[in-house]
Amino acid sequence: MSAPRRRDIARLTVAGLFIAAGALLIGALTAPQTVEHAYGAAKTSITGAVDEVREVTFGVLPTVQLGSTGGMPSLDQCDGTFTEMASYEREGVPPVWAAHNNCLGDVLLPWESGQHIRLEGNGQVYEVIDIRHTDKTWATTEDLIGLGGSLALQTCLYGEDRIKFVGLEPVRS
């Protein structure tokens, strides 16, 4: 291939990359929730597939670590743990532990009923026995009454006004 031909291909490649980057930037500026939703859907799909391969191939379950009890300041520390949300305490609602989706909380987004997970620290295996979605705004703890499980994990969905709760119950050995 001649040198001018290679330069043309290189220029077209660079131009294509600039156009793609520009389209992403325009999308992020004009429709951030759409971009966030697409990112979250892709990340959740990949995470779910990787978790499945790790479980089937190596017997390694998705693992979460429970942290301190508190509220939004504890949750906002983004230390890789789930915070027990004191404000969620209510009759008929299991203890709820939350993490922001971008602070490792998104590990639970691909989970469905029957998924087994491990709690780091005590090594106990739990099974997802209930799933509930609520709005981010205007939802109350009343929306969680009857959520199954001895504890629940919670995170927000990417680019949506929804929160996912998973009720967990220990698996008997």
pLDDT at 27: 58
> Any residues with CB less than 8 A from the CB of 155 and at least 6 apart, and which?
98, 99, 100, 101, 105, 106, 108, 109, 163, 164
In which residue ranges of the chain is pLDDT below 70?
1-4, 20-21, 23-32, 37, 40-42
pLDDT at 29: 66
Tokens of 41: 């859907």
Find the angle CA(57)-CA(60)-CA(62) to the nearest 5 degrees.
125
> Class assignment of domain 33-170?
mainly beta
135-139-142-148 Cα dihedral, nearest 10 degrees: 30
pLDDT at 155: 96
Name the residue ranges covered by the structural domains of the chain.
Answer: 1-30, 33-170
C-alpha dihedral sign at 55, 56, 58, 59: positive
pLDDT at 59: 86
pTM across the whole model: 0.78
Tokens of 66: 């429970």
Residue with tokens 């205007």: 138
CB 155 within 8 Å of CB 164: yes
pLDDT at 24: 65
pLDDT at 149: 97
Q: How far apart are CA 128 and CA 120, in angstroms?
A: 16
Q: What share of the chain is helix, strand, coil (3-state, %, to 5)?
A: 40, 25, 30
Q: How far apart are CA 40 and CA 160, in angstroms?
A: 10
